[in-house]
């Protein structure tokens, strides 16, 4: 619907890749609906994945012994986080929907995207115990993980060699997004695009565009271990 804001956090080195095309399709389709779409292209931004002392501007609470979680929490409260973090937090704050677009690396997201999670979702901004899970601080938002795999759908089935793909989603969707209060839409998975025909890859893009047309009508998944492990 017009006026909705979407942030796409995108991690791929090559614009001509399927991930690049999936990102482009999302930008086009959502813009056509009148949404305003922002992209954080992590590789192009040379986004820093490491959580370090550089994320805090000015003095530390405790200069004797560095505690990243405590220091960034304090810095967030006084507006003392580094500019790149303030920038990303602003994008998250404004977004109704977060789309994460990436190739699956080692059953997880690429390091540069994990670094985005590590650094951007600061205590005080995204969660603040006991305000986590259903009462997480980002609770009016939706997220969707859209990714490509190396292995086939059969390999990622319950009886397959890699186990159910949902097991892989537990730390990302539940441990990060749901922890911060975000409601999660069903993932969008393109299985083994490198091993299929050009024709099939085109179909993958069409299927994504098609899903995006009715995305705002979708209900979030059931945010409980059952969804992942039943």
pTM above 0.85, yes or no: yes
Q: For residue 111, is pLDDT > 80?
A: yes
Give pLDDT, residue 2.
81
Q: What is the pLDDT of residues 15-65, one digit of tens each?
A: 999 999 999 999 999 999 999 999 999 999 999 999 999 999 999 999 999
User: Domain 5-229, CATH 3.40.630.30 — does that match?
Assistant: no
Q: In this predicted model, what pLDDT tens digit does every residue of 71-103 receive, in sequence order?
A: 999 999 999 999 999 999 999 999 999 999 999
Q: What is the 3-state secondary structure (H, E, C) of 105-151?
A: ECCECCHHHHHHHHHHCCECCCEECCECHHHCCCCCCEEEEEEECCC
CB atoms under 10 Å from CB of 229, counted, come to 10
**pLDDT, tens only, 179-213:** 999 999 999 999 999 999 999 999 999 999 999 99
Q: Beta strand 188-190 with 97-103: parallel, antiparallel or unpaired?
A: unpaired
| Band of pLDDT at residue 1, cut at 50, 70 and 90 | confident
């Amino acid at each position: 619907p017009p006026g909705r804001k979407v942030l796409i956090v995108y991690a791929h080195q090559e614009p001509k890749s399927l991930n690049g095309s999936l990102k482009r399709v999302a930008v086009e389709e959502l813009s056509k609906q009148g949404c305003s779409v922002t992209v954080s292209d992590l590789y192009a931004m040379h986004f820093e994945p490491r959580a370090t002392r550089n994320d805090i501007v000015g003095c530390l609470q405790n200069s004797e012994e560095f505690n990243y979680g405590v220091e960034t929490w304090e810095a967030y409260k006084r507006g003392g986080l580094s500019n790149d973090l303030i920038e990303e937090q602003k994008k998250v704050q404004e977004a109704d929907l977060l789309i994460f677009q990436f190739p699956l690396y080692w059953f997880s997201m690429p390091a540069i995207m994990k670094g985005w999670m590590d650094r951007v979702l600061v205590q005080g901004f995204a969660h603040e115990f006991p305000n986590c899970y259903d009462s997480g601080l980002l609770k009016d938002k939706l997220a969707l993980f859209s990714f490509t795999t190396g292995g086939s759908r059969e390999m990622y089935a319950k009886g397959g060699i890699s186990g159910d793909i949902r097991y892989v989603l537990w730390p990302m969707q539940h441990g990060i997004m749901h922890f911060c209060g975000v409601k999660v839409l069903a993932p969008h998975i393109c299985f083994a695009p490198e091993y299929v025909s050009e024709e099939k890859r085109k179909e993958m893009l069409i299927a994504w565009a098609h899903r995006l047309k009715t995305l705002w009508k979708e209900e979030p998944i059931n945010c409980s271990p059952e969804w992942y492990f039943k």
